[in-house]
Every structure is written in C-alpha cells, then in structure tokens.
Chain A
C-alpha cells in the first residue's frame, strides 16, 4: 500500500496566478493612465497620478467583478484606496528627506561643527562660519531640559503605574493635555512668569525651561508605557521577599525598565530638539559661543536655521540654513535609531 503525502498548501497566501493577475491589473492601469495623459486634456504629473488612481479603481473593480463577483470587486477598491493612502503619506517624507540632503550638503564644510558665527554674517562665504555655537547651545538647553523633566516625567509615570491613586484618571488626562500645549504658549508662559518679573533678560536657561514644559509629557507617557510592560510577577516577587514598595520600585522595577526609560529620554529629546517657537521668544539667539546658560543670549540649531532663512536671502544663507537642517535631521535620525534599538530589546 502506498501512502501519499499531500504537499503542504497555503490557501490563504496569494498563489502564483493571483500575483500574476495583480501585476497584470497594475501594469494595465499604468498603461491606461499613460494613454489618458497622452490623448486627453489631462497632463503633467498631477494628471498622471489622478488618472492612474481612477484607472486602478476601474480596472480592479472590473477585473474582480468578472472573476469573483461584486463583493470581491468592492473589496479590491478598498485595497486600492489604502495603498494610495500609504503612497500619499510616503511622498512628502521622501521629498522632505531628499530636499534636505540635496540642498544641505552644499553648506557642509570641515569647520561647520566647530566654528561659530561671531565674525561672520549669514551672507558670507560658507567656510567663514559654522554652527558650533548653535550646536553647543542646543546641547546645553536640551541637557538642562532633560535634567528637570526626566525626574518629573518618571515620577508622573510611577504615580500612574505604581501608586494608582485616586487622581490617576485626571493626571493621565492632564499629561495628555499638556502634550497638546502649543509650543509658543510654553514660550509665552516662561516670558510672563520668569523673564519679565524675575530675570528681565533672555538666556539659555529660559529656553531650557520652556523646552521642559514640552518634554515632560513625552517622557511621562513613554515611561508609563514602559512601566506597564513590566510583568506584575516582578512586583509581587519584590513584595514577597519582604521589600517595601519603595524598595521594590527602586531595586526591581526601575532597573528592569532601564532600557525603556532610556527610550523615554531619547524620544523626549527628539520631541524638543527641533522646537523653534519658544526659543525664538526666550533665548535671544546669539551668534557667538556662549557656555553660560544663565547669562547672555544663547544660539541654538533651530534659531540658527530660522535666522539664516529669514535674514539672508543669498545662496550662502540658504545653504547654511539647509546644512543646519541636515545636521538637525541627522541628530533626529540617530536618536530615533537608538530608541528603536533599545526598545527592540526585551525587558529585563
């Protein structure tokens, strides 16, 4: 007696013919769209995209209608819509990155990270100055904001996950609401509460404080999500070994959430590193290197970019601005890569 072993089948995956048919419809749509642009009034890129969209809809509907009936035909329409949506989402991001890279590399030179603009105006040749002062200013301000907002953010997250007091719901809402505070309002708040009544001068520290307001909600929410992921068994184990809640949190939960907390820091930094509006109001934006956050105007990357775009007008000024944008964007890329890497690792 011979046994026949059936070859494993995967009926839920598209078969070769299915793939071929999908590709066929796609190619046919492109051809139809091309013909429409060629022979009718529609023209240009916009015309092509619009006609491609409609030909995809029509051809998909027609094909699946004759193949599987009305329900399948409608289903294929949704697929076209979703794919179109994701393409529409990706077009701007590709365009943005391409623009920044293609325009920014012209402004790069060897001294860009070390020189400052104390002796150069934005319209001078590119090698005359750099964004060292802006970079240092951004690092100081972001660092200052981090020192203040990290403890507050983590304490808020601990309140929401460990204490779970009666105010958990309202606090969660307030953190949410705080993340919606417009950045310019944060700047106005620092102006009205500190700059006008107390210091009467713009400085880097004021910038730090304004950024703190924007950073706390990001850190608090990310840290909360990370602390929720800590398995409850760890908490129970800590308490079962005789630890008080404080010992459990300090000795078990926070170490277990270490990489999550680092992710929270990174996402917080990524949130504020490009924040412009409050810095325009409260930092003064100097052109020379300033290492003292409590006194004197302090430059920052967003301020530098803003100033180069708005006060210049020459190709050099634009090249400077886009180069600044490129530096800023690379920072965001690096931070984001780090966050991905850290949050990809397992808790523990």
Chain B
C-alpha cells in the first residue's frame, strides 16, 4: 500500500536562521553588561564625590596643597575658622620615601623567592611554601602594623643606628637628632614585609608561564640554572616583574593602619630616612579625621582625592607593563 503524497503532513517551516539573540539572551546580556560596568561606575563615583567635597580646597590652595607642608587650622574665639592652611607636601614625601624603601627591599627578596619557588623547590615543600605565602598576603594590615610596632621596631631601630653609625656621611642616612623610632626607614621595612607575599605570587605566576621548550633548550645547550634564568626567564618575565613591583608600590602608598602605627606624622618635609619624622597621606587622613571640623574634613577629602589619583596612576602603569610585556619575552 502506498500513501498518497498529498496526504503527508507538511514539513514544519524551517526556522529562520538568524544571528539575532533571543529575548532572554538580550536581557541576560544587558544585565551582565550593567553588572560589568559596576567597577567603572564606582570608580567614577569615588572621583566625583571626593571632588565635590575636596575640589574647592584644591582650588584655594592651588599648588600649595601639593608642595606646602603646613596643616593648621586656627579658630577664633567663636569657634569659626580664622585661618587655615592645608598642604600635604611632607606627607607626599613620606609616602614616596616609605613606599620606595618598601620596593627597594621587598622586590629583590620577592623575585628571588619566586625564583626559588619556581625553579628550586619541588613537591611538598613547594606546595607548603606557596600556601604559606598566599596566607601571608591575606593578613590584615592591622596585624603588620602592631607586630611592626611591638616586635619589629626594636630590631629595626638597632639596624637604623648601625646604618647611621657607619654610613652617616651620606645625607640620606644622616639624622639631625638621634631619634630613630617610627622613621620612614622602619615604615618602609614593614611595608616591604607586607608587599613581599603579593609581589612574590605575581612573579611566581609569571615565571610559571615561561615556555618550557625554551628552558629545556637552554639546559640542552649546557646552561646552568643561573645561565638559564638569565637568558630565558628574566627576559621573558621582566615586564611582569616590574608590573608586580608597581602593584606593590600602589599597595604601599595607600597603606593606612600599618603606617600609622610605625611612622610619626610630622608636618615638615624630611628626606632623612632614618629620622623619626614623616607620615603618609593615608595616615594623615586617619589621624586628623577624629578631630576635624567641616572645613578640615574637606581638606582631608582633597588629600584622599590626590591619593586616589596617585594610586590609580601607579596601577595603570602596572597594568600596562604586565599586559604589554608580560608573557611575551623577546
């Protein structure tokens, strides 16, 4: 028996082939994109609100806000402000000094540690060390600050005295009066300890990406580990290491609590790293906030704005370096 062709059910009309996403997908994309914009919006809002509160201080003080180092509010008898002067020059110098010391001390140690973790340690030791260092990266800054103050400071003070005794002829290591406590040197060392785990794990990740064939080629040509690292790993990871160091710098510059505990806030520009005077922008904000009146709060907002822009710049450079040079090699 045969079926009449005409009785066959008509085949379903072929679906229209389109690259247009469905309604549900369109909504999904919109929602995710909005969520993805959150970081942009939040950063924009931070800049906006800090500017609203702080910009008039910046325009009043002009360049003096950056270069001046006086921070004083003189009130008259009725309590209104008669005269005020805001400058964060000393704090910027302190921020720069302590962060630079942190980088100079911390980065070489981190890079060497990362080399050890990638090319020397193996098996269980490696796993253990990596998790210890990752754990250290999660320690709160409060902990570093008070450990630095109660435990580390006495040793660091002794080191500072030694440096001053033997290298005091260099202007950097000279002190006007022998006060070695809470100096930029000590703050820098505490910051170095704080950034070591961060820079170590970034460098380790970059070293891990070194192409294995190049490493093996170097060994096959008879290179020692030192020669291999010099010829393959360092050229490959240079940009990444610098980027990691910049991230550490950003962290060190924005650090508040740890620096507050181990660095004296003194409103005077001080380039002598062993002398107990300095301060950084973040710790100034914390110190002054408790006693600040409305005008002073605005000045603190302006200081926060400067700090925000500064860290944003450092992070931008770091990102550029990591993405431009990281993971490529020569």
Interface centre among A75, A180, A220 (most CB of B within 10 A): A180
Which residues on the B side are within 8 Å of A186 (C-beta)? 46
Query: Which residue of B has the minimal Cβ distance to A275?
Result: B140
- Minimum CB–CB distance from B237 to chain A (whole Å) comes to 15
B contacts with A, residue count (CB < 8 A):
93
B316 touches A181 (CB 8 A): no
B143 touches A78 (CB 8 A): no
Which of B132, B282, B315 touches A177 (beta carbons < 8 Å)?
B315
Q: Which of B19-27, B62-70, B86-94, B264-272 contacts A (4 or more CB under 8 A)?
A: B19-27
B224 touches A74 (CB 8 A): yes
Which of A180, A245, A271 touches B247 (beta carbons < 8 Å)?
A180
Which residues on the B side are within 8 Å of A247 (C-beta)? 24
B49 touches A88 (CB 8 A): no
A336 touches B138 (CB 8 A): yes
Which of B116, B140, B197 touches A85 (beta carbons < 8 Å)?
B116
Which of B24, B50, B112, B152 touches A244 (beta carbons < 8 Å)?
B24
Which residues on the B side are within 8 Å of A178 (C-beta)? 39, 42-43
B35 touches A158 (CB 8 A): yes
- Minimum CB–CB distance from A23 to chain B (whole Å) comes to 16
| CB under 8 Å from chain A, chain B span 301-330 | 301, 304, 307-308, 311-312, 314-316, 318-319
| CB under 8 Å from chain A, chain B span 108-138 | 108-113, 115-117, 120-121, 129, 131-136, 138
Any chain A CB within 8 A of the CB of B183?
Answer: no
- Minimum CB–CB distance from A256 to chain B (whole Å) comes to 17
- Minimum CB–CB distance from B46 to chain A (whole Å) comes to 5
Query: Which residue of A has the minimal Cβ distance to B46?
Result: A189
Taking A100-B143, A177-B43 as contacts, is the C-beta distance between A86 and B25 under 8 angstroms? no
| CB under 8 Å from chain A, chain B span 206-220 | none
| CB under 8 Å from chain B, chain A span 288-303 | 302
A171 touches B227 (CB 8 A): no
Any chain B CB within 8 A of the CB of A155?
Answer: yes
A92 touches B254 (CB 8 A): no
Taking A89-B196, A245-B25, A325-B146 as contacts, is the C-beta distance between A71 and B256 under 8 angstroms? no
Which residues on the A side are within 8 Å of B73 (C-beta)? none
A181 touches B151 (CB 8 A): no
Which residues on the B side are within 8 Å of A193 (C-beta)? 45, 49
Question: What 1/0 mask marks residues of chain A from 168 to 185 whose CB sits below 8 Å from any chain B CB?
Answer: 001101111110111111
CA distance A42 to B37 in the complex (A): 59
CA distance A87 to B289 in the complex (A): 39
- Minimum CB–CB distance from A182 to chain B (whole Å) comes to 3
- Minimum CB–CB distance from A233 to chain B (whole Å) comes to 21
Taking A155-B32, A177-B319, A192-B50 as contacts, is the C-beta distance between A99 and B151 under 8 angstroms? yes
Question: What 1/0 mask marks residues of chain A from 300 to 344 whose CB sits below 8 Å from any chain B CB?
Answer: 001001100100000000000100010011001101100010000
Taking A156-B35, A274-B143 as contacts, is the C-beta distance between A89 and B133 under 8 angstroms? yes
Query: Which residue of A has the minimal Cβ distance to B254?
Result: A182
Which of B113, B138, B200 touches A332 (beta carbons < 8 Å)?
B138
B147 touches A99 (CB 8 A): yes
- Minimum CB–CB distance from B124 to chain A (whole Å) comes to 14
Any chain A CB within 8 A of the CB of B295?
Answer: no
Which of B29, B45, B253, B315 touches A176 (beta carbons < 8 Å)?
B315
B193 touches A92 (CB 8 A): yes
Which residues on the A side are within 8 Å of B311 (C-beta)? 180-182, 185
Question: What 1/0 mask marks residues of chain A from 9 to 41 whose CB sits below 8 Å from any chain B CB?
Answer: 000000000000000000000000000000000
CA distance A167 to B247 in the complex (A): 22
CA distance A82 to B110 in the complex (A): 9
Question: What 1/0 mask marks residues of chain B from 218 to 260 whose CB sits below 8 Å from any chain A CB?
Answer: 0000001111010000000000000000010011011111000
B140 touches A274 (CB 8 A): yes
Any chain A CB within 8 A of the CB of B144?
Answer: yes
Interface centre among B39, B253, B256, B257 (most CB of A within 10 A): B39
Which of B32, B140, B308, B312 touches A276 (beta carbons < 8 Å)?
B140
Which of B35, B136, B152, B227 touches A75 (beta carbons < 8 Å)?
B227
Any chain B CB within 8 A of the CB of A163?
Answer: yes
Which residues on the B side are within 8 Å of A325 (C-beta)? 142-143, 146
A171 touches B39 (CB 8 A): yes
CA distance A85 to B29 in the complex (A): 48
Query: Which residue of A has the minimal Cβ distance to B140?
Result: A274
Which residues on the B side are within 8 Å of A188 (C-beta)? 50, 285, 300-301, 304
Which of A155, A245, A305 touches B35 (beta carbons < 8 Å)?
A155
Any chain B CB within 8 A of the CB of A160?
Answer: yes
CA distance A216 to B159 in the complex (A): 40
Question: What 1/0 mask marks residues of chain A from 44 to 72 whose CB sits below 8 Å from any chain B CB?
Answer: 00100000000000000000000000011
CA distance A310 to B193 in the complex (A): 23
- Minimum CB–CB distance from B115 to chain A (whole Å) comes to 5
Which residues on the B side are within 8 Å of A192 (C-beta)? 49-50, 52-53, 301
B225 touches A75 (CB 8 A): yes
Interface centre among B36, B304, B315 (most CB of A within 10 A): B36
B226 touches A85 (CB 8 A): no
CA distance A162 to B34 in the complex (A): 14
A276 touches B146 (CB 8 A): no
Known contacts A93-B133, A182-B311; 4 additional CB pairs below 8 A are: A75-B224, A158-B36, A178-B39, A274-B140
Q: Which 10 A-B pairs have the closest CB atoms?
A: A274-B140, A155-B35, A182-B254, A159-B36, A85-B112, A82-B116, A246-B28, A75-B224, A277-B256, A188-B304
7 A/B residue pairs, CB under 8 Å, sorted by A = A78-B226, A86-B121, A92-B196, A95-B151, A96-B151, A178-B42, A185-B50
Binding site for B on A (CB under 8 A): 46, 71-72, 74-75, 77-79, 81-86, 88-90, 92-93, 95-96, 99-100, 151-152, 154-156, 158-160, 162-163, 165, 167, 170-171, 173-178, 180-186, 188-189, 191-193, 196, 213, 216-217, 220, 244-247, 249, 267, 270-271, 273-277, 280-281, 302, 305-306, 309, 321, 325, 328-329, 332-333, 335-336, 340
